[in-house]
Structure 1
Amino acid sequence: MRMVSWGGSETLWHGAAKHLCSRGLRVATHTAAATRPTPAMTDLARLGVATTFELTSRSLSLRLLRRTAPRLYAHKLNHRLRGWLGTFEEPKVIVSCGSLLDDFSELANLSDNRIPYAVIIQAAAPEIWPHDGALAGIEKFLLNARRVFFVSHHNREDVQQFLGRELTNAEVIWNPASLPAAFRSGETSPTFPQAAGLSLGCVARLDVHAKGQDLILRTLALDKWRARPVTVTFYGEGPHRRTLQNAAHYLRIDRSVFAGQTTDIPALWENHHLGVLPSRYEGMPLSVIEAMMLGRANLVTATCASAEIVEDGVTGFLAAAPTATALDEALERAWVRRAELKKMGDAAARTIRSRMPADPCRELASRLVEIFVSDT
Structure 2
Amino acid sequence: MYDAPWGGSEVLWSDVAAEALAQGHEVLICTHAWPELAAPLKALQRDGAQFYLRPRYDDSLAFRVKSRFKRVLNGGELDEIRVLKKFAPDVVLVSQGGWNDLFYHAQVRAWLRQKPYSLICHNYQDPVRLNEFQREQFTTMFAEAQEVLMISANQLKTIRRQLATELPNARVVQNPLNLPTSYPIAYPEADTSELTTQLAVVASFDVDRKGQDVLLEAFSAEQWHRRNWHLNLYGHGPDRTYLERLIRYYGLEERVTLHGHVSDSSRIWAKNHLLVLPSRIESGPMVLQESLLCGRAVVAADVGLVRMWLDEGETGFIADASTAASLNAALERAWACRDKWQSMGHEGYERTYQRLENKPAAALLNQLIEVASRHSIAK
Counterpart for residue 192 of structure 1: 188
Counterpart for residue 217 of structure 2: 218
Residues 11-90 of structure 1 aligned to structure 2 (within 5 Å): 11-58=11-58, 60=60, 79-90=78-89
Contact 2:218 2:325 in 1 (8 A): yes
SS in 1 for 2:6: coil
CA distance, structure 2, for counterparts of residue 262 and residue 129 of structure 1: 37
- Normalised by the length of structure 2, the TM-score is 0.89
- Over 3 Å counting, the alpha-carbon distance change for 1:85 and 1:278 in structure 2 is same
CA distance, structure 2, for counterparts of residue 108 and residue 264 of structure 1: 38
Counterpart for residue 246 of structure 1: 245
Does residue 338 of the first structure (1) align with residue 334 of the second (2)? no
Contact 1:93 1:117 in 2 (8 A): yes
Contact 2:148 2:170 in 1 (8 A): yes
One-letter identity of the residue aligned with 2:281: Y
Counterpart for residue 110 of structure 1: 111
Cα deviation 1:150-175 (Å, max 9, x = unaligned): 01011111211221211011010001
Contact 1:100 1:130 in 2 (8 A): no
One-letter identity of the residue aligned with 2:262: T
SS in 2 for 1:87: helix
Give the deviation of 1:191 after TM superposition. 4.0
Residue segments in structure 1 that go unaligned for 5+ positions in a row: none
Counterpart for residue 318 of structure 2: 318
Counterpart for residue 156 of structure 1: 156
CA distance, structure 1, for counterparts of residue 123 and residue 321 of structure 2: 18
CA distance, structure 1, for counterparts of residue 179 and residue 273 of structure 2: 19
Counterpart for residue 231 of structure 2: 232
Cα deviation 1:273-317 (Å, max 9, x = unaligned): 100011111111111111111111111012432222111111111
Give the deviation of 1:131 after TM superposition. 6.8
Contact 2:275 2:291 in 1 (8 A): yes
Give the deviation of 1:141 after TM superposition. 1.9
Bigger shift: residues 76-85 or 268-277: 76-85
SS in 1 for 2:79: helix
- Over 3 Å counting, the alpha-carbon distance change for 1:76 and 1:293 in structure 2 is farther
One-letter identity of the residue aligned with 2:294: L
Counterpart for residue 8 of structure 1: 8
One-letter identity of the residue aligned with 2:326: A
One-letter identity of the residue aligned with 1:13: W
- Normalised by the length of structure 1, the TM-score is 0.90
Give the deviation of 1:79 after TM superposition. 3.3
Does residue 98 of the first structure (1) align with residue 97 of the second (2)? yes
Contact 2:91 2:369 in 1 (8 A): no
Counterpart for residue 364 of structure 2: 364
Contact 2:197 2:228 in 1 (8 A): yes
One-letter identity of the residue aligned with 2:279: S
CA distance, structure 1, for counterparts of residue 201 and residue 59 of structure 2: 37
One-letter identity of the residue aligned with 1:160: R
CA distance, structure 1, for counterparts of residue 76 and residue 110 of structure 2: 10
One-letter identity of the residue aligned with 2:218: T
CA distance, structure 2, for counterparts of residue 13 and residue 104 of structure 1: 19
Residues 169-318 of structure 1 aligned to structure 2 (within 5 Å): 169-180=169-180, 182-183=181-182, 186=183, 189-195=185-191, 196-253=195-252, 254-318=254-318
Give the deviation of 1:272 after TM superposition. 0.8
Cα deviation 1:192-240 (Å, max 9, x = unaligned): 3445342110000111111111121111101101110121111001121
Number of equivalent positions: 365
CA distance, structure 2, for counterparts of residue 153 and residue 106 of structure 1: 30
SS in 2 for 1:86: helix
